[in-house]
Structure 1
């Protein structure tokens, strides 16, 4: 264990805590939404820190390589599903983002033996914009001026565009890499 792995583990623990706080009461109480936003923000910050620390100080481990993306997907996925269940975010938004995330994860496993599909700058930007958009929707927007709701939708709209664009970019890159890779000899010939 190292600090990067501890931050990843903390994020995994924060996911159910975030959900419990978000759904406390009727799911729309002002104080609970602020507390849920705070927990979500801390979890997002740990995502940023663990990767930076692991790369900078040579703390990259198998646990981190496996647990970090799982923690990311759990945090983003559970927040989207929870917000849709509470009626704060339309289900189509959740479906679009989750289909892309699951599709890219499956694609990465499919091409794993030919190499790793690294995270692109666009993918990292997409993750950051998704986190900001989700964070805004976690806030008690019903109690704030309408400009906050509009801002949340503008950021979420950008997140959806980046989600689709980067998903297509990954798909094109993977297909191109598969076509370029040398074919393994067929032992039956």
Structure 2
């Protein structure tokens, strides 16, 4: 076993702190989004952009400096879902995004989060490449909805692409979870 494999990583590292900061930015984003005026809309966009950037940065730091923790594997997707969920619900409350889109995306996100929590005693399934693409598409679509003056057809296409990838990656995650569960059952059956 190498020294790096034996090293215990504290959950209080810069990557996890950035994840917590992202969670803390969510209420500020929502407040800015509901305030009237274009200036507030741009403020909401700025807060959303900073929070979204922390998603990329915390993952990069965790991988580069070997700061990956079980806390981060769970907290990071929860922070992502809190940010995107708050944006989708807020945009629907404001009448700018159809509720069915918000309900479909949040249903997938909540379902997968619950599935992760159920599976945590067996293993933590890290985000897949498709999950990362889904996050980028959701963020891009939300930015287009927040940004004043973007033509509706462009917003619809972007959100449609995000919704399709969200559903497909959700199905993939369920398949991976079923396989993990089967492997765990087989491992238990083989124990003396």
Q: Normalised by the shorter chain, which TM-score bucket?
A: 0.7 to 0.9
Segments of structure 1 that go 5 or more residues without pairing to the other structure are: none
Kindly report the root-mean-square deviation, in angstroms, between the aligned alpha carbons of the 2 structures. Answer: 1.7
Indicate the SS of the match to 1:59.
Answer: coil
Residue of structure 1 equivalent to 2:18 = 7
**Cα displacement string for residues 37-80 of structure 1 (whole angstroms, at most 9, x for unaligned residues):** 11101110011001110111122345433432221111011111
**Cα displacement string for residues 103-124 of structure 1 (whole angstroms, at most 9, x for unaligned residues):** 1111112222222222111111
Which among 91, 97, 103 is matched to residue 89 of structure 1?
97
Indicate the SS of the match to 2:121.
Answer: helix
Residue of structure 2 equivalent to 1:64 = 72
**Cα displacement string for residues 5-44 of structure 1 (whole angstroms, at most 9, x for unaligned residues):** 332222122111111111113xxx2111111111101110
**Aligned pairs, how many?**
177
Indicate the SS of the match to 2:132.
Answer: helix
Residue of structure 2 equivalent to 1:117 = 125
Which among 91, 99, 106 is matched to residue 98 of structure 1?
106
Residue of structure 2 equivalent to 1:154 = 157
Q: Is the 8 A contact 2:73 2:126 kept in 1?
A: no
1:33 aligned to 2:41? yes
Indicate the SS of the match to 1:114.
Answer: coil
Cα 1:176–1:6 change in 2 (3 A) is closer
Which among 19, 37, 51 is matched to residue 43 of structure 1?
51
Q: What's the TM-score, normalizing by structure 2?
A: 0.84
Segments of structure 2 that go 5 or more residues without pairing to the other structure are: 1-11
